[in-house]
């Protein structure tokens, strides 16, 4: 097992064994991230491959100002967003300041399997899915999301609320298949 600094140094020199070790260490986490942005596994694999190419091509610029994992995650998120833009997947976003902002409601999730929840998120319209992932999963604020996507903060908020509403409806629809479920907030 190599230390991160040694691994980065060796990858910067273009050593294939080090690149493979870095890939093996982080591919599962980064693939899970890609799946949150992609519509399906092949698309997520394309994003992952493109992201790792960017990581290996830019690893010389990594300065340990953040963790390697954070740096790689940011590259992967940007790659996923660029992929969506290039494929023209982004739906027009309605800019409605504070549209639909309500207190979070509880919905039932307890007996859903992780893969089923991922599929529900993947089934969201692209704009909603991206904002939902960036806000609820990655932890970005609506102002940051707006800057990343080139939309207003209000658009980010309305897309997030639309995503929550759609997920609630999908979960309620699927609820009958799982019996009585516990309460979890989204």
What is the tens place of the pLDDT at every residue in 21-73? 999 999 999 999 998 888 889 999 999 999 999 999 999 999 888 889 989 99
Q: Are residues 13 and 82 in the same domain?
A: yes
Q: What is the CATH number of the domain that holds 123?
A: 1.10.10.10
- Residue after which a domain boundary falls, among 34, 51, 86: 86
Q: Does residue 131 fall inside a structural domain?
A: yes
Count structural domains, the chain.
2
Assign 3-class secondary structure to 162-175.
HHHHHHHHHHHHHH
Q: What is the CATH number of the domain that holds 75?
A: 1.10.1740.10
Residue 139, phi-psi category: left (phi > 0), alpha (psi -120 to 50), beta (remainder): left
Range of the domain at 52: 4-86
Which residues, in sequence order, are CB contacts of 39 under 8 Å at separation 6+? 89, 122, 126
- The most distant pair of C-alpha atoms in the chain lies apart, rounded to whole Å, by 55
CA 16-22-24 angle, to 5 degrees, is 100
Q: Does residue 99 fall inside a structural domain?
A: no
Query: Does position 184 have pLDDT exceeding 70, yes or no?
Result: no
Mind listing the pLDDT tens digit for each residue in 140-181? 899 998 888 888 999 999 999 999 999 888 888 776 555 444
Minimum mean pLDDT among 27-36, 64-73, 74-83, 103-112: which range? 103-112
Q: Are residues 40 and 79 in the same domain?
A: yes
């Amino acid at each position: 097992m190599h230390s991160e600094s040694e691994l980065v140094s060796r990858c910067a020199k273009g050593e294939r064994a080090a690149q493979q070790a870095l890939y093996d260490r982080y591919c599962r986490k980064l693939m899970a991230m890609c799946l949150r942005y992609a519509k399906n596994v092949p698309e997520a694999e394309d994003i992952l491959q493109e992201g790792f190419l960017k990581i290996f091509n830019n690893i010389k610029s990594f300065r340990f100002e953040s963790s390697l994992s954070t740096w790689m995650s940011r590259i992967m998120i940007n790659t996923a967003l660029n992929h969506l833009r290039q494929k023209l997947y982004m739906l027009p976003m309605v800019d409605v300041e504070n549209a639909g902002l309500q207190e979070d409601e509880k919905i039932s999730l307890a007996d859903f399997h992780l893969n089923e929840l991922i599929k529900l998120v993947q089934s969201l319209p692209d704009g909603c899915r991206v904002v939902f992932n960036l806000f609820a999963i990655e932890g970005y604020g609506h102002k940051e999301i707006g800057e990343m996507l080139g939309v207003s903060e209000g658009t980010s908020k309305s897309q997030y609320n639309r995503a929550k509403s759609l997920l609630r409806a999908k979960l309620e629809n699927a609820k009958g298949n799982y019996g009585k479920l516990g309460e979890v907030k989204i």
